[in-house]
Amino acid sequence: MATGEQASPPGLATRRSLGKRFRDAIAPILASKVALVGLGLVSFWVVVAIFAPLITPYGPLEHDLEAMNLGPSLEHLLGADNLGRDLWARLIYGARTILILAPLSVFCALAVGATLGLISGYFGGWTDEVVMRLLDAIMAFPAILLYLIIIFALGPSATNVVIAITIAGTPGIARLVRSLTLDIRTREYIAAAKLRGENPFYIMFVEILPNARGPIIVDAMLRIGYAVIAIGTLGFLGVGLPPPAPDWGSMVAQGRIYIWINPWPVLWPSLAISSLVIGLNLFADGLREETMRYQ
Amino acid sequence: MENIKTPVLKVENLAISYKMRRGEVPAVRDVSFEIHAGETLGLVGESGCGKSTVAFGIVNFLDRNGSILNGSILFQGQELQGQSEEELRRLRGNQISMVYQDPLASLNPCLRIGEQLSEVLIVHRGLSKEEAYEKCIEMLKGVYMPDPEAMMLRYPHQLSGGQQQRVVLAIALLNNPALLIMDEPTTALDVTVEAGVLDLIAELRREFDTTILYISHNLGVIAYVSDKVSVMYTGEIVEQASVEDIFLKPMHPYTQALMRCVPKLGESKESSYLPPIPGRVPSPMNLPPGCIFVPRCQYARQFCRQKHPELRQVVPGHFICCHFAEEIAEAEWQPPEGLVPDLTTRGRRENAAEAILEVEHVKTYYKQRGRSLISLFGLGKKQYVKAVDDVSLELPKGCTLGIVGESGCGKSTLGKTIVGLESPISGKLKFLGFDILAPVVKRDKRLVKELQMIFQNPDSTLNPSFSVGYQIGRPLRRFGKVSHNQQRKEVIRLLNAVRLDASYYNRLPRQLSGGEKQRVALARAIAAHPKLVICDEPTSSLDVSVQAAILNLLLDLQKEYDIAMIFISHDLSVIRFFSDQVAVMYLGKVCEIGPAQAIYSPPYHPYTEALLSAVPIADPCAEQKRIRLGGMVPSALNPPGGCYFHTRCPRKLGDICEEQDPPRKIAGKEHYIYCHIPLEELCKMGVVVTLPKDTKGNS
């Protein structure tokens, strides 16, 4: 019968293997040097955090009274703080907390924000107005003020830091997802889904969300960077993790008093925060550039 | 007098390639042609064949990753290759002008028309403002712009599409260029507007003696404007001859196949078969070693696979790029054995008179928010866009109703209203005897299953995140058509039904061509065995050879599954070919409805008559009445009183047309015309299009 422009070179793999899928997924990262540099910085911190006990003989809370306020030495690679705690050990144990808390809080913000954004963009009308005005109200507060209000209300703890960052991050993500939804819902495959009588939540989460993932992932990478800064700031202000937990922000705060005697306890955590944030930013930038070029 | 001898443009052995991530793409290879003063060369070919690249190459407007590898471009005897950017810029302003497809993209949205026009003269000719103004007014009159003084003060968005393209043409012509390059200038326009612009171009050729390189994918348009035609295929010119030779005696197998797969106005599915071109256009990165057309050529022999043919003169003035051009006789062409279905069974069955769909006085209005402060508070007068305004029609079981009209006539909205994507504000909608006024979310699942739709844009019809198999399988799961373990089998059966093999099951949409995507969309639509499928311009964004394949497929599936169809299109030839019944829409209203045969022959509604006279026909010998509609399509927010068409109607009777709604006239069996003109007079209208009797292809 009428075959038309049929084209299927025989022998073409019918199932995409897992390996190929993985290669497809990381192709944009490998293609961009910027993304690779970013990825390198981030994975450095991830690796040292995972293998912390193997990398350093000291614990983060161990005192070495002889090393108090000493600079880098063979024994203490990065020096020790005013209580004689090894800075390298505190740094990499600190990486552990921050690398759990930052992605976790962004993930929570993403779950709430994406849901609200999808609902707002898909239904439109009054639903949209109500949701967006409420989120605008949250956005009206400066982020740092919002963190402080929430944490003073709930008390300083790791969970509450996550809650604070989630609440502050939700409006931005919701706006992004809403605008993507507004575009995607006009596509014809959405009309086709409606014509199958699909329920709105299937359309939102299965038909729309996966096609918005590119910009959402890039945005999430940047947001993890901001979350790192936020956690650092809260730690510095003394409302983050309660001491003596190894927290980069509180390390800076403590070292600040002795900065003229021993600058190292301030320098190292500051460098750690900025290298992680810059790494995440570079990674996000590279990813954005490459995914855009793919389209 | 040497000018007559030197061609205005002479392109020799032009080769252009693009650098892509996957390597070098030789988009244009060894292209040569020349255009003499006052001549129009039509460059025709399907998408991706490199015709636009040639045009951009001539004026060196290639993208940054494109470069001219080889060849020379002589403009009035002067080599353009290797000229400085400054020199080229001067030439482009003074001597060579270009007109592109989208007029709105060529005009600066924040400058008035007058400023954009006079800028050309002030910059390139050094005229004063006053002199330039005078010249511009003159030029706007030259392109038949109504009220040129007022137009000079307007911004581009305040003009209609046809007027915008006129302005672009005026800008291009202001410097009286020696060469005008037009890249699909009418593709984005409606047929009636397109006809006006084409007339204008034809007149400009006579008046200004402009030399034109005209690029289009539309064979009808090319036949209308060109003196000479070059046919391109994947970056090479395969045939070049005068317009008569190309259309009446095409010699290259590709040109012949291309002509055969375009439905000619008046052909129907019962009377003719559209043979699609098998296979697909090869990627320029992966060309076959011999003749590039071999994989799709019916006449290919061993020799063709080994040696690449040269463009050679076979008959005086007729160049063909084929080894065996002399031996291929178009007249003796026969479709391959077993390919042509029984045409007689494709038509409407007479006994199936029972209506599957009844539409009565349906109105779909969109609320339009006012721009004033009062309406911001909800106090303003509510305005409505009358997208579908009081439409009534009936569709018998297993039949095809074609809905035709220009953009904005409400044909898509009508389709969406029927499937339930839009809600009508009043009227009656009955499907299989059930009321379907409710939007799709409120309809019963069993009813939802029976109504499916195929969309226009192949790139957005499939969800890019899911495999073909998943998307075809989804309606099966939704409607519980087959048990879970049978699903894969059923999806593969559906893939086969749309002539795709099982290897497509796991592919993602981005790995498919436009035609393949449309096939998958078709499989998805028929998966649940619907009784009615609405096809909203399913072939408009496809190449003609692919269009032929999709149309054949639709016909086969319709027969196999006994589906009634509503086929929405702006293409009158396709509508005639595909439909049993046709409704012509204008501004939300049906102005004529009846059997396809009856719509395309007198008596006509005056609008149908104008539409038919505007269709470009791929036959330079066809006779066609010239009726051109003036004015703009009125806004659907505020349609004129009485007959909506009276503002543009060339046969307007008088006040009655402005005051009273047109009555329904019975012009024949099931053929209704909504017009004030007495039936006897409508019957006196002559036939609009007469094709020469001895055309081939009417098998």
- Spatial distance between the Cα atoms of B73 and A176, rounded to a whole number of angstroms: 49
Which residues in A lie closer than 8 A to residue B416 (C-beta atoms)?
A: 191
Query: What distance in Å separates residue A207's CA from the closest CA in chain B?
Result: 7
Measured CA distances, B353 to A55, B452, B575 (Å): 84, 22, 21
Residue B360: partners with Cβ closer than 8 Å, 6 or more residues away: B392, B427, B428, B429, B430
Determine the distance from the C-alpha atom of residue B279 to the mean position of all C-alpha atoms in its chain, rounded to a whole number: 22
pLDDT tens digits for range B458-475: 889 999 999 999 999 999
A177–chain B nearest CA distance, Å: 17
Report the residue of B412, B436, B443, B465 to disrupt the A interface, i.e. the one with the largest count of A CBs within 10 Å.
Answer: B465
Confidence band (pLDDT; 50, 70, 90) for B5? low
Chain A residues closer than 8 Å to B556 by CB = 1-2
Look at residue A181 in the predicted model and tell me its pLDDT: 95
Residue B426's SS3 state is: strand
Q: How far does CA B540 lie from the centroid of its chain?
A: 6
Query: ipTM of this predicted complex?
Result: 0.83
The answer to whether the CB of A198 falls within 8 A of the CB of A207 is: yes
Contacts of B469 (CB under 8 A, 6+ apart): B488, B491, B504, B505, B506
Nearest by Cα to B411 from B389, B396, B395: B389
Q: Are the Cβ atoms of B499 and A4 closer than 8 angstroms?
A: yes
Contact between B276 and A15 using a beta-carbon 8 Å cutoff: no
Query: Which of B278, B443, B461 is closest, CB to CB, to A188?
Result: B461
DSSP code string of A72-137:
--SSSTT-B-TT--BHHHHHHHHHHHHHHHHHHHHHHHHHHHHHHHHHHHHH-HHHHHHHHHHHHH
Q: Is the pLDDT of residue B370 over 90?
A: no
Q: In the sheet that B179-183 helps form, which strands lie side by side, from edge to edge?
A: B96-99, B179-183, B211-216, B40-44, B228-233, B236-242, B318-320, B312-315
Residue B695 confidence (pLDDT) above 50: no
Measured in angstroms, the CA of B684 and the nearest CA of chain A are apart by 42
**Secondary structure (3-state) at B83:** coil
Q: Which helix (H) or strand (E) holds A276?
A: helix A264-294
Nearest Cα neighbor of A173 from A87, A110, A266, A88 is A110
Q: Do B276 and A3 touch (CB under 8 A)?
A: yes
| Cα→Cα distances B233→A27, B321, B523, B537, Å | 33, 11, 30, 25
Return mean pLDDT, chain B: 85
Residue B538 tokens, joined:
């399913």
Query: Which of B341, B448, B455 is opposite residue A188, by nearest beta carbon?
Result: B455
Give the residue among B509, B538, B506 at the shortest CA–CA distance from B522.
Answer: B538
% of chain B residues with pLDDT over 90: 25
CA distance B597 to A238: 85
Question: For residue B206, which phi and psi values (nearest 5 degrees)?
Answer: -65, -45
Q: Where are the domains of chain B?
A: 1-95+176-279, 107-174, 355-600, 603-691
The total of other beta-carbon atoms located within 10 Å of residue A292's CB is: 12
Residue type, A115: T
Q: Per residue in B380-420, pLDDT tens?
A: 667 788 889 889 999 988 889 999 988 888 899 999 999 99
Which residues make beta-bridge pairs with B589?
Answer: B586
CATH superfamily of B1-95+176-279: P-loop containing nucleotide triphosphate hydrolases (3.40.50.300)
Per-residue tokens: A191: 């009309």
Taking the CA of residue B160 and the nearest CA in chain A, the distance in Å comes to 25
What is the least distance, in Å, from the CA of A221 to any CA of chain B?
Answer: 21
d(CA B518, CA B458): 6
Q: pLDDT value at position A41?
A: 92
| pLDDT tens per residue across span B578-621 | 999 999 999 889 999 999 989 988 889 999 999 999 888 888 88
Q: In angstroms, rounded to a whole number, what is the distance separating the alpha carbons of residues B215 and B59?
A: 15
Task: Kindly determine whether residue A4 and residue B549, on different chains, have CB atoms separated by under 8 Å.
Answer: yes
Please give the distance of CA B666 from its chain centroid, rounded to a whole number: 32
The pLDDT, as a whole number, for residue A165 is: 93
Whether B348 shows a pLDDT value over 60: the answer reads no
B456's CB contacts (< 8 A; 6+ apart) are: A188, B536, B537, B538, B540, B541
Q: With an 8 Å Cβ cutoff, are B552 and A194 in contact?
A: no
Can you give the pLDDT at residue A75? Answer: 76
**Which range in A186-195, A253-262, B96-105, B135-144 is most confidently predicted, on average pLDDT?**
A186-195
User: Has this prediction a pTM greater than 0.90?
Assistant: no
The topology (CATH level 3) of B355-600 is Rossmann fold (3.40.50)
Fold match between domain B1-95+176-279 and domain B355-600: yes
Query: How distant is the Cα of A196 from the closest Cα of chain B, in angstroms?
Result: 6
B592 beta partners: B584, B673
Distances (CA, A) of A63 to A38, A113, A268: 34, 43, 18
DSSP state of B275: -
pLDDT digits (tens, 9 = 90+) for A178-233: 999 999 999 999 999 999 989 999 999 999 999 998 899 889 999 999 999 999 99
Name the residue with tokens 């373990």. B485
B500 vs A196: CB contact, 8 Å cut-off?
A: no
Q: How far A166 CA sits from the closest chain B CA (Å)?
A: 28
User: Tokens representing B161?
Assistant: 């599409």
Q: Which residues pair with B10 in a beta bridge?
A: B34, B74
Q: Which two tokens stand for residue B493?
A: 């059966």
Looking at the complex, report in whole angstroms how far the Cα of residue B507 sits from the nearest Cα belonging to chain A.
8
Kindly state the DSSP code that residue B311 receives in the 8-state scheme.
Answer: P
The DSSP secondary structure of B362-390, one letter per residue, reads EEEEEEE---SHHHHTT-SPPEEEEEEEE
Name the interface residues of A facing B (CB cutoff 8 Å). Answer: 1-8, 10, 12, 14-16, 187-189, 191-192, 194-198, 200, 207, 210-211, 213
Residues of chain B above pLDDT 70, percent: 93
Average pLDDT of the segment spanning B508-513: 88
**Which residue of B461, B525, B553 is in closest CB contact with A2?**
B553
> Using CB atoms, which residue from B276, B503, B516 is nearest to A12?
B503
Query: What single string gives the DSSP state of each residue in B1-61?
Result: -GGGTS-SEEEEEEEEEEEETTEEEEEEEEEEEEE-TT-EEEEE--TTSSHHHHHHHHTT-
Polymer length in residues for chain A: 295
* Chain B residues whose beta carbon lies within 8 Å of the beta carbon of residue A185: none
pLDDT confidence of residue B372: 63
Q: CB neighbours of B141 closer than 8 A, spacing ≥ 6?
A: B148
- CB-facing half-sphere around the CA of B52: CA atoms within 13 A: 15
* Range in B140-149, B167-176, B247-256, B360-369 the model is least confident about: B140-149
B362 pLDDT tier (thresholds 50, 70, 90): very high
Phi-psi category of residue B23: left, alpha or beta, with phi > 0 → left and psi -120 to 50 → alpha: left
On whether the CB atoms of residues B364 and B417 are closer than 8 A, the answer is yes
The nearest alpha carbon in chain B to A294 belongs to: B21
Q: Per-residue confidence of chain A (295 residues) as pLDDT tens digits?
A: 334 444 434 334 444 566 777 777 777 777 778 888 999 999 999 998 888 888 877 777 777 777 777 777 777 778 787 777 888 888 888 888 899 999 999 999 999 999 999 999 999 889 999 999 999 999 999 989 999 999 989 988 889 999 999 999 999 999 999 999 999 999 999 999 999 989 999 999 999 999 998 899 889 999 999 999 999 999 888 887 777 778 888 888 888 888 888 888 889 999 999 999 999 999 888 888 777 654 4
B545, A2 Cβ separation under 8 angstroms: no
Note whether B420 contacts A12, CB cutoff 8 Å: no
Q: Are B521 and A192 in contact (CB under 8 A)?
A: yes
pLDDT above 80: residue B342: no
Q: Inter-chain contact A2–B420, Cβ cutoff 8 Å?
A: no
Closest CA to A138 of A156, A114, A113: A113
Mutate to test the interface with B, among A3, A195, A289 (most CBs of B within 10 A): A195
Task: Tell me the H-state helices in B562-605.
Answer: 572-578, 596-599
| Chain A hits for B500, Cβ within 8 Å | 6, 8
In this model, does residue B373 exceed pLDDT 80? no
Question: Environment class of residue B215 by beta-carbon count within 10 Å: exposed (0-12), middle (13-18) or buried (19+)?
Answer: buried
B329 backbone dihedrals φ, ψ, rounded to 5°: -100, 120
Strand B40-44 relative to strand B66-75, pairing: unpaired
B586 DSSP 8-state letter? E
Q: Which residues of A touch B479 (CB under 8 A)?
A: 196
B672 φ, ψ (degrees, to nearest 5): -120, 140
- Residue B212 — φ and ψ, nearest 5°? -125, 135
The tokens for B323 are: 């080894």
Residue A172 Cα, gap to closest chain B Cα (Å): 25
Closest-CA residue of B relative to A213 is B465
Q: How far apart are CA A87 and CA A75, in angstroms?
A: 11
Q: Strand B66-75 and strand B451-454: pairing?
A: unpaired
Q: In terms of CA atoms, which chain B residue is nearest residue A191?
A: B421
Which residues in B lie closer than 8 A to residue A198 (C-beta atoms)? 478
Burial class (CB in 10 A: 0-12, 13-18, 19+), B29: buried
CB < 8 Å to A2, chain B: 275-276, 339, 499, 548-549, 552-553, 556
> Which of B419, B441, B546 is facing A5, going by the closest CB pair?
B546
First to last CA, chain B: 50
